[in-house]
Chain A
Amino acid sequence: MFRRFLAAVFAGVLSLVAAGARSAEDPFAFDLNDASTTESPWALSGSVEVRHQSYTEQGGELSQRVRAVFEPEWRHGRWLAFMQTTHEVDAAVDQFRAPYRGDFLQGFLRYDGDVVDVTVGKQRINWGVADGRATIDRINAFDLRDPIGNARTPSRRPSTALHVQTDLGQSQLEIAYLPFGPDRKLPEWNSPWEPAAFSELRQLRGADGCQAEIEDSTTPEGGVRWFRYGRGLDVGAAVYHGSLAAYRRQERVTTLGFEPVRATTYNLSLALSALSSSWRAEVAYTPRALAPNGRTGGLQQVIAGWDRSIGAGTYVNLQFYSDRFEAGPDETGATFAVTQEAFDTAVEFGFRGQVANRGQRILEGYADWNRTDRLHLVARWVGFSANAGTALEPYAENDFFELSARWAF
C-alpha cells in the first residue's frame, strides 16, 4: 500500500515537473492584450519639444524654443471633434516679439455621413498630389513667421472653413468655403524671416506722417475639387478662387502698402504607380497672377515628380517644377529628398532641399533618431543661398544648425 502511495506521489511529481518544463518552453505563453485598455470617446495626445537653432554664419541664436502641443479628440459614432493648440516660449526672439506665443491651430467638428461628410471649423484641407510644392493648395496659407517646415516643404497653417465631401461612387467631390480667407500669418518686424519689402514699408510707418500698412485678406473664398482614385491611377481636377501667396504694392492717396492678390486657379493632377515607383504631376493655370516683377498676367504651372523606395530603407523623391509668367520672369527648379534608415530603422538620415533659377537653393542635411516610440531626437543643418531680388533673398543669411528633442504622449 505504502509502495503504491510512493509510486503515485513520484508519478505526480514527475508530471508536475514535465508540465512545468512544457510551460517554460512554450514560446507562445505570452499575452500582449492590455486588460486595462478601455474604450473611451475621449483621447488626449500631443508632444513637448525643446528646440535649439543657432546661426552657422553670423553667430547667435535663431531660436531657443520650448513648445507644448495638445490635441484633445472626441469620437462618438459618426462624429469627431478635434482640437490642436500650441504653447511656446522662445528665449531668442525678444528682439522682435514677446517670448510666449499661443496658437489655436485646429478645432473642428466633423460628421461622417453615408452620402456626405461635413467638417466645420479650423482645419487642414490638402489638395494636390505633388510634394514640396503645390499649385492648388491655397487653403493652408504659408506660415511666414516660421516658414521652414523642411528644406523642400514650407510650413502651412490650417484655415477656418466649411468642407463638404461627397462620394460619387467611383469618384469624390469636395467643396471648401473659407468665410474669413486663409489664416495667413505675416513675419514680425525685424524677424529673420521678414521680406525686405515688408521691412522697408514698416520703417515708413509714422515717418513724415506716412501711413503704411500690409493688408491681410479676410474676404471669403473657396473652391471645388473632383478626384478619382483607381487601379494604378488617381486623377483630379480643381478650381479655386481666393488669395495668392503674393502681395501687390499699392500706392493710394493716403496710404502706401501691400495687399494680397486674389485670383482663380484651374488645376489638373494625376498620380500613378508604375515600375515600383510613384509618379505625380500637376498642371495649373491662373489667368491673373502676380509675377515677381509686380506685373499681372497669366501663370502656367507644371510639376512632375517621381519617388520610390529602394531596397531596405532607402527612399528617393524628385520633383521638377516650372512657373511660366506671361508678364514676368519664369521660375524653374526642383525639389529633392534622399533618405536612408539605419540602426534597425531607429535612425533616418539624409538630405533634402530645392534648387531654382536665379541662384535660389535650400539644402538640408539631417539625422532623425527615434530613441523610443515617444522620444524623438533631431539634428539638422539648413543652408540658403539666393540672388538679389528673389523670393529666397531674405533668408540668405539664415543658415542654421538645429538640435531638438520631442517627447510624444
Chain B
Amino acid sequence: MTGFAKLGGGLIVAAVLASGTAAAEEALTGLQLAERMDAVDHSKDSERLATMVIERGKQRLTRRMRLTGMKIGVDERSLIAFDEPADVRGTKYLSWVYDDPTAEDDLWVFFPSENLIRRISGGGKKGSFMRSDFANEDIEARAVADDTHELTGTATLNGRECYLLESTPIALKAKDSNYARRVSWVDKETLIALKIEFYDRRDRLIKTLSQGGIEQIDGIWTATKLIMETPRRGSRTLMQYSEVRYDQGLVAGVFDQDALKR
C-alpha cells in the first residue's frame, strides 16, 4: 500500500451531494454545475463506517474502515482507520488536502506494528485503493479547479432526469490521473452523480461508478451504496456506508498526527 493519494476526503464527500434548489437548466454552464455540486455539501465534518467488498473472479475481499472528515476553510482533512483485513487492522491514513491545485497535499500513514508515523508522497494517485477497483484518485476530495467542466446535455437514467457533465483534468493534474475525461450523469434534483464513466487517453471506457442507496441524512443527500466496475478485468467493488453522521462538532485536533496513534 505504498503511495497513497488524498484518501478519505473523497470517500467522505464524493458521494455526499446535497440537493438544495434545482439548478436553472437553461443558463447553467459546466463550471457552474460543478460548483453547485461541490457547494451543496454544507457539513463541517462527518463520520461514517465503510464496508468494501471486492469481487474478482471467485475471490471476495472485504475491507472495513472508519472515515472521518472535516473542512477547514476551503481545505479538507480526513482520517481513515482500517479494521479489516486483519493484517492492516489499526493502520491509519491522515490527509490534509488543499484546494489550491498547485499545492501538494500532506499525507501520513501510521503503521501500528511499527508504532511509526511516516510522511508519504502523493505520487501514487493512479494506484489501487486497498486492491479495489477504486484508484486512490477516485476517492480523493477533488477540487472543482482540478478539472475543466462542460455541460454536454441532458439524459434520463433509471427514470431520473440528469445533466451530462464532462470533466477533463487541467494540465497540472493530468499527469497524476489515469483518466483523460470523466462523464457524469448528475441527478437534477439531488445533484448527486448517479453514474460516472471514466475514459483513458485513448478514449476507452475503463471504469464505471454507480451510486445508489440515496437518502437524506442530517439534511444532506447521501449516496450510501457505490459500485465501481472494471469491465476489462471482470471485477467490481461494492461500497456501503453506515452510521453516517454530519456536523458532530469535531475539532481540528482529531486530524493531528498525534491522533494517529489513538
Q: Are A27 and B121 in contact (CB under 8 A)?
A: no
Query: Of B51, B86, B105, B123, which is within 8 A of A373 by CB?
Result: B86
Residues in A neighbouring B233, C-beta threshold 8 A: 344
Q: Are B238 and A276 in contact (CB under 8 A)?
A: no
- Which residues of B234-262 have CB atoms within 8 Å of chain A's CB atoms? 235, 238-240, 242, 253, 256-258, 261-262
A126 and B87: CB pair below 8 A? Answer: no
Within 8 A of A (CB), among B54-105: 56, 59, 61-62, 84-87, 89, 96, 104-105
Question: Of A31, A165, A280, which one neighbours B240 at CB under 8 angstroms?
Answer: A31
Is A308 touching B121 in the complex (CB atoms < 8 A)?
yes
Complex CA distance for A34 and B49, rounded to whole angstroms: 12
| Contact residues, B203-250 vs A (CB, 8 A) | 210, 212-213, 225, 227, 233, 235, 238-240, 242
Q: Does B142 contact A (CB under 8 A)?
A: no
From known contacts A31-B240, A165-B258, infer whether A124 and B115 are also in contact, taking CB-CB under 8 Å.
yes
Counting CB contacts under 8 A, is A215 at the interface? no
Q: By the criterion CB–CB under 8 Å, are A232 and B86 in contact?
A: no
For residue B119, CB closer than 8 A to chain A, the reply is yes
The reply to whether A276 and B104 form a contact with Cβ atoms under 8 Å apart is: yes
- The reply on A212 being an interface residue by CB < 8 A is no
Contact B240 A232 (CB under 8 A): no
Q: What's the least CB distance linking A340 to chain B, in Å?
A: 10
Any chain B CB within 8 A of the CB of A207?
Answer: no
Q: Does B128 contact A (CB under 8 A)?
A: yes
A374 at the interface (CB under 8 A from B): yes
Q: Output the residue of B2, B52, B242, B262 with the most chain A CB within 10 A.
A: B2
Known: A27-B212, A30-B225, A376-B87. A273 touches B131 (CB 8 A): no
Interface pair A346/B258, CB less than 8 Å apart: no
Q: Which of A11-19, A254-262, A309-317, A321-329 contacts B (4 or more CB under 8 A)?
A: A309-317
Of A32, A43, A311, A374, the most chain B CB neighbours within 10 A belong to: A32
A88 to B122, CA, bound (A): 39
Given A231-B96, A273-B107, A276-B122, are A167 and B258 also a contact pair (CB < 8 Å)?
A: yes
Given contacts A31-B240, A232-B104, contact A346 B131 (CB under 8 A): yes
Please state if B121 and A273 are interface contacts (CB–CB under 8 Å).
yes
B182 at the A/B interface (Cβ < 8 Å)? no
Cβ A312 vs Cβ B242 within 8 A: no
- In the complex, whether B31 has a CB less than 8 A from a CB of chain A is no
The listed residue with most B CB atoms (<10 A of its CB), out of A45, A274, A373, is: A373
Alpha-carbon distance between A129 and B108 when the two chains are bound, in angstroms: 12
- In the complex the two chains form, what is the Cα distance from A33 to B256 in whole Å? 30
A274 contact set on B, CB distance < 8 A? 104
The answer to whether B59 touches A372, judged by C-beta atoms less than 8 angstroms apart, is yes
Interface residues of A in 362-409 (CB under 8 A from B): 370, 372-374, 376, 408-409
A344 partner, pick from B3, B126, B131, beta carbons under 8 A: B131
B116 touches A126 (CB 8 A): yes
B176: Cβ under 8 A from any A Cβ:
yes
Query: Does B126 lie within 8 Å of A373, measured CB to CB?
Result: no
**Complex CA distance for A374 and B86, rounded to whole angstroms:** 7
Chain A nearest CB from B136 CB (Å) reads 9
Q: Is the CB of B127 within 8 A of A313?
A: yes
Least distance between B133 CB and chain A CB atoms (Å): 9
Closest to A131 in B: B118
Q: How far is the CB of B67 from chain A (nearest CB, A)?
A: 15
In the complex, which range does the number of interface residues on chain B fall in?
A: 35 or more
Residues of B close to A372: CB separation below 8 A: 59, 61
A195 to B121, CA, bound (A): 38
Q: Contact between B115 and A125 (Cβ–Cβ < 8 Å)?
A: yes
Contact call B86/A273, Cβ cutoff below 8 A: no
A178 at the interface (CB under 8 A from B): no
A216 sits at the interface (CB 8 A): no
Provide the B171-214 mask, 1 if CB < 8 A to any CB of A, else 0: 00000101000000000000000000000000000000010110
User: Among residues 166 to 221 in chain A, which have CB atoms less than 8 Å away from a CB atom of chain B?
Assistant: 167, 172
Determine the distance from Cα of A341 to Cα of B114 in the docked complex, in whole angstroms: 23
Q: Are B238 and A312 in contact (CB under 8 A)?
A: no
Is A276 within 8 A of B176, CB to CB? yes
The answer, yes or no, to whether B150 is at the interface (CB within 8 Å) is no
Confirm or deny: B146 has a beta carbon within 8 angstroms of a beta carbon on chain A: no
Q: List chain A residues, Cβ under 8 A from B56.
A: 344
Residue of B56, B85, B104 with most partner-chain A CB within 10 A = B104
B253 surroundings in chain A (CB, below 8 A): 167
Question: What is the minimal beta-carbon distance from A221 to any residue of chain B, in angstroms?
Answer: 19
On chain A, the residues within 8 Å of B89 by CB distance are: 43, 45
Judge whether A278 and B131 touch: CB under 8 Å. no
User: Once the chains are docked, how many angstroms separate the CA of A124 from the CA of B110?
Assistant: 13
Is A234 interfacial (CB 8 A cutoff)?
A: yes
Q: Which residue of B lies closest to A114 (CB)?
A: B253
A-chain residues with CB within 8 Å of residue B114 when the two chains form the complex: 124, 126
Interface hits, A332-381 → B, CB 8 Å: 339, 341, 344-346, 370, 372-374, 376
Report yes or no: B227 in contact with A309, Cβ–Cβ below 8 A: no
Q: Which of B29-51 contact A (CB under 8 A)?
A: 51
Q: How far is the CA of A311 from the CA of B3 in the complex (A)?
A: 10
Across-interface contacts of A273 in B (CB, < 8 A): 104-107, 119, 121-122
> 24 A–B contact pairs at CB < 8 A?
A26-B212, A30-B225, A32-B51, A33-B51, A45-B86, A123-B115, A126-B116, A129-B119, A232-B104, A271-B119, A272-B119, A273-B104, A278-B120, A308-B3, A308-B123, A309-B3, A310-B123, A312-B178, A315-B124, A345-B131, A372-B59, A374-B85, A374-B86, A409-B86
Name A's B-contacting residues (CB within 8 A).
Answer: 26-28, 30-34, 43, 45, 47, 112, 117, 123-126, 129, 165, 167, 172, 229, 231-232, 234, 271-274, 276-278, 280, 307-313, 315, 339, 341, 344-346, 370, 372-374, 376, 408-409
Chain A to chain B: the 5 pairs with minimum beta-carbon distance, closest first: A309-B3, A309-B124, A28-B212, A276-B123, A373-B85
